[in-house]
Amino acid sequence: MRTFVLLSAGCVLMTAGLSAQGNQIAPGGTLRAVYLAGNAAQAVRDPATGEARGVAADLTREIGRRLGVPVSITPSPSPQTVIDAVSKDEADIGFVAYAPSRTGSVEFSQTYMLVRQTFLVPERSELRSVTDMDRKGVRIGGTKGDSITLFLGRSLKQATLVETDGTPADMKRKFDAGAIDAFGANRQRLSTLVKELPGYRVLSDNILDVPQTIVVQKGKLDALKTVNDFIDDVRRSGMLKTSIEKSGVTGIDAAPAGFGYGKVE
């Protein structure tokens, strides 16, 4: 009974803390969240209801519940448009992967989730592992602006990086034309693509785990602290783990405590 009382008191204090910061996070009275469309690791649109569901949606609704404000959850086409929406005050929080090139116009929270990244290759390909990738003559495709594309741009020494427009059609055209030998993206996306692309396979290992963060407008340090405290709380309580499991998305995990603020490498 004593443990229950202490936990309940902690939840009350956490809710009170968020309410006190409500004017910092959602000064307009509605918590406006934006996430990356097409990234199932964050959220997807329920075809039956049209509502967003997934980890980003669950976290947004929980923040809204604790603040006592309604929420709006909007998809955005690219990481940069997510950041732009927050920096221009068109959204209060944004869900986006950290990358060094994205800093400057927003504040990044600590990492709440890790998304595994790997490669899609033709079935006949001699590329069997991520360790086979960085070789002379290998051409690797990646969506312009994606975390893995930015990472490959910094880290590749011998292989050639080829940017795509992010559509499966463009990726397939480049494979068919021999312009790329592999395509990098998060494991969930590639696992979905391979079901629609006979003759291709997803590598069994991963090149990196991309840190997922919540961004707030530049200079809103009180809001940032509240978001970081919230992430600590949902990690401790198990809510984050439950949300990840409920999403059914493969290749994502809750980030461990102390993982850091936007740590990629």
97 token code pair: 């992967």
CATH number at residue 176: 3.40.190.10
Check residue 18 and give its pLDDT. Answer: 64
Distance separating alpha carbons of residues 99 and 6, to the nearest angstrom: 39
Q: Are residues 42 and 161 in the same domain?
A: no
Structure confidence at residue 175 as a pLDDT band (50, 70, 90): very high
pLDDT tens-digit readout, 8-43: 334 433 454 565 555 789 999 999 999 999 788 899
Residue 260 lies in a domain: no
Check residue 10 and give its pLDDT. Answer: 41
Structure confidence at residue 106 as a pLDDT band (50, 70, 90): very high
DSSP 101: G
Check residue 199 and give its pLDDT. Answer: 94
Check residue 3 and give its pLDDT. Answer: 38
Domain that holds residue 150: 115-208
**pLDDT averaged over the chain?**
88
Residue 154 lies in a domain: yes
Check residue 196 and give its pLDDT. Answer: 87
192 token code pair: 């979905």
Asked whether the predicted pLDDT for residue 1 surpasses 60, the reply is no
Residue 32 lies in a domain: yes
Q: Are residues 109 and 134 in the same domain?
A: no
Check residue 147 and give its pLDDT. Answer: 84
Q: Are residues 142 and 20 in the same domain?
A: no
Name which residue leads in pLDDT, 103 or 179: 179
Q: What is the mean pLDDT of residues 52-61?
A: 96
Residue 262 lies in a domain: no
**What is this structure's pTM?**
0.78
Q: Are residues 144 and 223 in the same domain?
A: no
59 token code pair: 């976290």
Check residue 252 and give its pLDDT. Answer: 93
Domain count, the chain: 2
Q: Are residues 30 and 17 in the same domain?
A: yes
Q: Which residue has the tokens 């592992």?
A: 129
Asked whether the predicted pLDDT for residue 107 surpasses 50, the reply is yes
Residue 11 lies in a domain: yes
Check residue 152 and give its pLDDT. Answer: 95
Q: Are residues 101 and 172 in the same domain?
A: no
Check residue 83 and give its pLDDT. Answer: 96
Q: Are residues 107 and 145 in the same domain?
A: no
